[in-house]
Amino acid sequence: MSVSQKTVLQYVQAALSVMDSDEVDSVSDTTEATQVAELFYDVYYELVNRQEWSFLRGALQLTASGDTSTPTKVIIPEDAKRVRLVTYNIDTAGGYQRRELVYLDPETFMRRFSGGQAAGNRLLVTPAPGLQFYVNVDRMPSFWTAFDDEFIWLDSYDTSIESTIQTAKLGCFGDRIPTLVIEDAYTPELPVHMIPLLQHTLNQAAMQTFKQTESKMDEIRVRRQTGQARRAESRITRKTYYWNQFGRRNAGMNLGSGRRWWDNNNTGGPGAE
C-alpha cells in the first residue's frame, strides 16, 4: 500500500475525530464506528458515480458464451458500468488483426439482421421469446448490440475458423464499477488527489447523519476539492475523437439491487475494418 493511500479504518477514524467520538482500533469496536463505516460505503459509491472518472476507465473482460445455439452471445462482466468499445481479432492465421466493431441500437440491429429467408450461410438465433435474428456464419463480426443489461450480441462468426465467438479474441474498453470491502485494512480504489475529497465528504455526511449539525469547514473543503478533482482527475492528456458509448445508469450505488438498463449515447465511429 502506498503511504499516500488510506484504509477504511483510517477514513472512519478521521470522521469519528471530527465528530468528537471515541477512538477505535477497528470499525467494529463501537456501534458508532460501525455506523460510520456503513455510511462510508454509501459516500464512496456516491462519489465515484458523480461523473465518469478516468481512473475507472480501462479494459473490461468480455466472455463468450461458448454455446453453439447462440454462438455470437457475449457475457458482460458484473463490474462493467459502461461499454465504450468492442473489438475482435479477425486474423485467421494465428496472428493479431483488431477490428473495431460498430455498435447498432437494438432496433437497427433487428431491422438489419431479421429479414429474408434462412440460407446456408446464416443461423437463426433466439435471444428471448419473440426475439429472433440471423447471424452470418461465413465471416468475422462487424457489428454488435445489446437487448438487455446482461449480454452483447455480435452479427456474425466464421464457422471455418471457430465454432463460436472466442473469449480470447474479444477486446473491450469502458468504465467499471470499483469494489469496496468494509474491512479495517482495505484500501479503497481512488487516486491520491481525490482522497481529501472522499474524507471531507464522509466527515460532512457523518456530522449531518449522526450529530444533526453542519460541518462548515468540511462543506467548504468538499466544494473546493470537487472542482480540483474534476480539473486534475487524469494525469494523461486525452483528446477524444469519437466514442461508441453504451452504458448503465447510476451503476454501483447499490450493488445488490440487480442490473440496470443501458442508455445509448452513440456518437458514431469508424467502419468495421
Is the pLDDT at 183 greater than 70? The verdict is: yes
For residues 193-197, average pLDDT: 91
Full DSSP string of 67-107 = -TTSTTEEEPPTTEEEEEEEEEE--SSSS--EEEPEE--HH
Mean pLDDT of the chain: 83
For residues 104-129, average pLDDT: 86
Is the pLDDT at 260 greater than 90? The verdict is: no
Is the pLDDT at 58 greater than 50? The verdict is: yes
The CA distances from residue 107 to 23, 104, 139, 168, in Å, are 58, 8, 22, 29
Q: What pLDDT score does 29 carry?
A: 98
Name the band, by pLDDT with cuts 50, 70 and 90, for residue 174. very high
For residues 92-119, average pLDDT: 89
Q: What pLDDT score does 216 carry?
A: 61
The residue ranking higher by pLDDT, 173 or 50, is 173
Name the band, by pLDDT with cuts 50, 70 and 90, for residue 39. very high
Q: Where are the domains of the chain?
A: 8-53+191-231, 56-177+239-264
For residue range 202-216, list pLDDT tens digits in order: 999 999 999 887 666
Q: What pLDDT score does 258 carry?
A: 34
The residue ranking higher by pLDDT, 268 or 187, is 187
Q: What pLDDT score does 114 carry?
A: 86
Contacts of 158 (CB under 8 A, 6+ apart): 92, 137, 138, 139, 140
Contacts of 161 (CB under 8 A, 6+ apart): 92, 140
What pTM was estimated for this model as a whole?
0.75
Is the pLDDT at 269 greater than 90? The verdict is: no
- What is the SS3 assignment for 205? helix
Q: What pLDDT score does 171 carry?
A: 97
For residues 244-270, average pLDDT: 39
- The dihedral over CA atoms of 48, 84, 158, 133, expressed in degrees to the nearest 10, equals 90
Name the band, by pLDDT with cuts 50, 70 and 90, for residue 116. low
Rg of the chain on CA atoms, in Å: 23
Is the pLDDT at 273 greater than 50? The verdict is: no
Bridge partners (DSSP) of residue 133 are 125
Bridge partners (DSSP) of residue 64 are 74
Q: What pLDDT score does 217 carry?
A: 57
